[in-house]
Structure 1
Amino acid sequence: MSPSDRTPNDDAHPERRRPRAFRVDGPDVVVEPGAEQRHFKRPHQTVIVTEPEEPTEPIGAVPAPVAGARGGLWRKLLFGALGGLVSLAVGLSIDGLIRELWARAEWLGWLGLALAGVALAALIAIIAREVAGFARLARIDRLRRKVATAILGDDEKAARGLVGELATLYADRAETARGRAALRGHAREVIEGTDLLKLAERELLLPLDETARRLVLDAAKRVSVVTAISPRAAVDILYVLYENIRLLRRLADLYGGRPGTLGFLSLAGRVVTHLGVTGGMALGDTLVQQLVGQGLAAKLSARLGEGVVNGLLTARLGLAALDVVRPMPWTAVPPPKLRDMMGEITKMPSTD
C-alpha cells in the first residue's frame, strides 16, 4: 500500500501506522505493558507498548557443562584405574618378596618387614609434605583472588579479614615485625577497604618485595657471569636450569608458598603460562636499544653478550614468578621492571 492509499482508520492499527518522531517524555505519550492494548485507538496520543523481556542468566551463574566434559571424566577414570593396578602390582610384589624371605630365614623375613615399614612411613611423609605444599600454594592463590575482589569492590569488611590473614601468614617473619606493629596501630583509622589493603601491602609486603628483587637480581648476575665464562653450551644449559629452579623455590619460600616437588612442578607450569600471557620470554626492542645505547656492542665479546642476555632472561622469569607467588596483586607498590634491572645486570667496569 502506497502512502496515498492510506485511510484515517490506519491510525487505529499500529502495525500499519506511518513512522513519525515523538518525545518519550511528552505529555501525549502513554506507556502500557503487554501487547493486548495494541489495537485500541486513543486520539492525539502515542501509545508505547512494552514487551516482556526474556529471562536472562544471572551474573555469576554456573555455566551449563559442555559436551566435551565427559572425555575428562573418562580420562580420570582411566588414569585412576591404571594407578590402582600399579599399586596392587607393587603391593603383591612386596608381599611375595617378604614371604620368600620368611621361607629362607626368619631373620630375613623380619628384616624385609622392617624395611617395608620404613618405606611405607617415608611414603606417607612424602605424601603429607606434597599435600601441605599444595595447600600453601592454594592459600596464596586464594588470598590473591580475594584481595583483588575486595579491592575491586572496596569491601571494608572483607578487607579487614584479609589483612588479618596476611598478618597471620607472616606472623613469624622478623622482617615484617615493624610492619605488623604499624598496621595494628593504623588499621582502625582507615575506613576504606581499598586503602586498608594498600596499607597492608606497603607495611607487610614491601620488605619482602625488596628481598625478592635482590634475589632476582643476584640470580640474573650469577647466570650472566657463569654463562659468559663457561666453555660448554651444555654447562650453560644445566646451570641456567639449576639457577632458575633455585630462584623459583626461594621466591615461593619467601612469600609463604613453600611447595613440595609436585607443587613446584605445578608452580613452574603456572609461571611459564604467565610468561606466555604477559609477553613470553622475548625481550623485544627495549633490550636491544638498551644494549646499543650503553655501547655494549663495542665493549663486550659475543660470549659475554650472550651471558648478559641469559641473565636478563633469568630476571624476566623471576619477575613473572613474583606475580604468581605474591599473595596480593601489585596495587600500592609498583612492580619491579626488567628495564630497571638492565642497568645493574649489564653494568660493565670502565675501560679507561
Structure 2
Amino acid sequence: MTKNNNAGNDQPSPRKRAPRAVKLDRGAYGEDIARPSPDTAATLSMTSDFTPDSEDYFDKVNETSETRYKPVRKRGWSLSAFFWSAFSGIVMLAIGLWLDRLIRDLFARWDYLGWAGLALVAIAILSLLFFVARELLALRRLSHLDHLRAKVEDIYQEGDRKDAQQIANNLLDLYKEQPSLFRARQTLKQDLPHLFDREDILAQTEQILMPPIDRLVTHRVHQAAKRVAVVTALSPRALFDIVVVLVETIRMVRFIAESYGNRPGFVAMLRLTGHIASHLAVTGGMAAGESLLQQIVGHGLAARLSAKLGEGLLNGILTARIGLTTIALCRPMPFITEPQPQLGAVIKTLRATSEEMEKEEEEELSGKNKGTKR
C-alpha cells in the first residue's frame, strides 16, 4: 500500500529531449513546417494585391522615374576622337600661320605695332593656358566625385574598415573649407575612432556630413522649379520662357555642383550636362504634352488650368527633375541611409502654387465681370 501511495503521489518526471542539429533552411521541427502545404500554396497564389484608389500618386513618382545611373566610361580611342584631334591640329596650325602673317605685317608697317601685336598674342596664349589648366582641374574634381561615389557603393557591398575610414577622410578633406560644416566635421572626427564596422562608418559619415548640403540643394531645386513655373505662366513671349528656363537651369546645376564641392568650369559644365541628359534618357524622359500634365496633376486640375499655367507647371516639373538628377550625379555619396529627395514633393508644391494662381485669376475675372455689369 505504501508503495502504491507513493507511486500515486509521485508525478512522472518530464522526458528530456536529446539535442539535435537543425539546418537553417528547414523548419525547427522538420520540413513540414518549413514548406507550405499544397492547399496553402493554392490559397496564396489565388490572392491578389489590391491598391486603394486613395493612395497618392506622387509618393510613387520617384520610384519609377529616378533610377540609379552610372556614366559609362569608354576605354580606348574611337574614330570620332581621331577626327576631332586631327581637326583641332589643323585649326591650330591655321591660327598659328595667320598670327605669324599678322605679326610680320605689323612689323612691316611699324615696329611698335609689331611689338604691340606680339604682346597681345602672348597675353592671349597665357590666358588660354590658364583657362585650360582651370578646366582640367574642374574635370579632375568631377571625375574625383564620380570615382568617390562608385567607390562608396563598392565598399558598402564588400570592403573593410580601412577602406571605409579612407572614404570618410576623403570627404572630410573635401569639405574642410566649408565653414557651415565645421561642427559636422568635428563630430565625425570624434565618432570615427569608436566605429569598427564599414557599414557604420559609411552610415555615420552620410548622416553627419550630407544632410546640411542635401537640405540646401533641395531647397534650391524647389525654388528654381517654382520660379520657372511662375515666370513661364506670367511671361507674354515664348522666347522669354526659353531664356528663363535655360538661365535658371544652368544656375541651379552650377549651385548644386558647387555645394557638393565640384565647382565646374565651362568644359566640366558641358560634361555634367551630358551626364544629366544621359541620366534622363536612361530613366525614361517624360514627354511634354497634355497627357503628361493630366497624369501628374490629375484630370480635374488639368481641365481647370489655363494654357499658360499648365505650361508653367510642366516647365517647373521638368526643371525639378533636372535638379534632382544633378543631386544624384554630384553627391559624393549615394543615398544609403538618408532619404533621397523625391519629385513628388516638388510636384505637390508646384500644384499648390498653380491652384493659388488659378484662384487669383478667377477672382480677377469675376471682379471684371462685376464691373462690366454695373
Q: TM-score, with normalisation over the residues of structure 1?
A: 0.75
Q: 2:334 aligns with which of 308, 329, 334?
A: 329
Q: Does residue 202 of structure 2 align to residue 200 of structure 1?
A: no
Q: Which residue of 2 aligns with 1:42?
A: none
Please list every run of 5 or more consecutive structure 1 residues that lacks an aligned counterpart in the other structure. 1-68
Q: 1:312 aligns with which of 317, 331, 343?
A: 317
Residue pair 1:176, 1:203 contacting (<8 A) in 2 also: no
Q: 1:74 to 1:216 in 2, by over 3 A?
A: closer
Q: Which residue of 1 aligns with 2:102?
A: 97
User: For 2:261, what is the secondary structure of its paired residue?
Assistant: coil
Partners of 1:185 and 1:109 in 2: CA distance: 64
Q: Which residue of 2 aligns with 1:156?
A: 161
Deviations 1:173-214 (A, max 9, x none): 122112111111111111111111111111111100000101
Partners of 2:286 and 2:303 in 1: CA distance: 25
Q: Which residue of 1 aligns with 2:116?
A: 111
Q: Which residue of 1 aligns with 2:196?
A: 191
Please list every run of 5 or more consecutive structure 2 residues that lacks an aligned counterpart in the other structure. 1-74, 364-374
Q: 2:144 aligns with which of 136, 139, 146?
A: 139
Q: How many residues align?
A: 282
> Higher helix fraction: Structure 1 or Structure 2?
2
Q: Which residue of 2 aligns with 1:44?
A: none
Identity of aligned residues (%): 41
Q: Does residue 180 of structure 2 align to residue 178 of structure 1?
A: no
Partners of 1:183 and 1:297 in 2: CA distance: 48
Q: TM-score, with normalisation over the residues of structure 2?
A: 0.71
Letter of the aligned partner of 1:135 in structure 2? R
Runs of 4 or more, structure 1, over 6 Å off, are 283-287
Q: Which residue of 2 aligns with 1:55?
A: none
User: For 1:346, what is the secondary structure of its paired residue?
Assistant: helix
Letter of the aligned partner of 2:327 in structure 1? L
The Cα shift of 1:299 comes to 5.2
Q: CA RMSD of the aligned region, Å?
A: 2.2
Structure number with higher relative contact order (C-alpha < 8 Å, ≥ 6 residues apart): 2
Deviations 1:200-231 (A, max 9, x none): 11111110000010110110011001100111
Residue pair 2:203, 2:337 contacting (<8 A) in 1 also: yes
The Cα shift of 1:302 comes to 2.2
Q: Which residue of 1 aligns with 2:54?
A: none
Q: Which residue of 1 aligns with 2:224?
A: 219
Deviations 1:217-264 (A, max 9, x none): 110011001100111112111211111111111111111111111111
Q: 1:198 to 1:229 in 2, by over 3 A?
A: same
Q: 1:92 to 1:179 in 2, by over 3 A?
A: same
